[in-house]
């Protein structure tokens, strides 16, 4: 499984925002379900206005129950 370039770029943007102390945790409503979500956002400025760019939300409950790790793929071994 390969991580797409857009995801890598977004992650780098998130790291820069964290380094610059420009992150916020916002309480939002899910656009489809209306359920409350706690969203990690980068904070920027547009003139005098603040701009919040959502990157993802925190998992509800135990995040270990929400995701499966990627399968383990070992590199090929050269014959000895």
Q: Which residues neighbour 43 within 8 Å (Cβ) at sequence distance 6 or greater?
A: 17, 22, 23, 24, 50, 51, 52, 53
What pTM was estimated for this model as a whole? 0.74
What are φ and ψ of residue 40, in 5° steps?
A: -85, 125
Average pLDDT value for residue range 7-34: 95
pLDDT of residue 32: 96
Which pLDDT tens digit goes with each residue over 25-79? 999 999 999 999 999 999 999 999 999 999 999 988 898 888 888 887 766 766 6
- Give the three-class secondary structure for 31: coil
């Amino acid at each position: 499984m390969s991580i797409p370039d857009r995801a890598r770029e977004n992650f780098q943007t998130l790291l820069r925002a964290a380094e610059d102390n420009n992150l916020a945790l916002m309480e939002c409503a899910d656009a489809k379900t209306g359920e409350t979500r706690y969203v990690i956002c980068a904070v920027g400025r547009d003139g005098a206005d603040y701009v919040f760019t959502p990157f993802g939300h925190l998992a509800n409950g135990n995040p270990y129950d929400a995701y499966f790790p990627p399968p383990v793929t070992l590199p090929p071994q050269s014959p000895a």
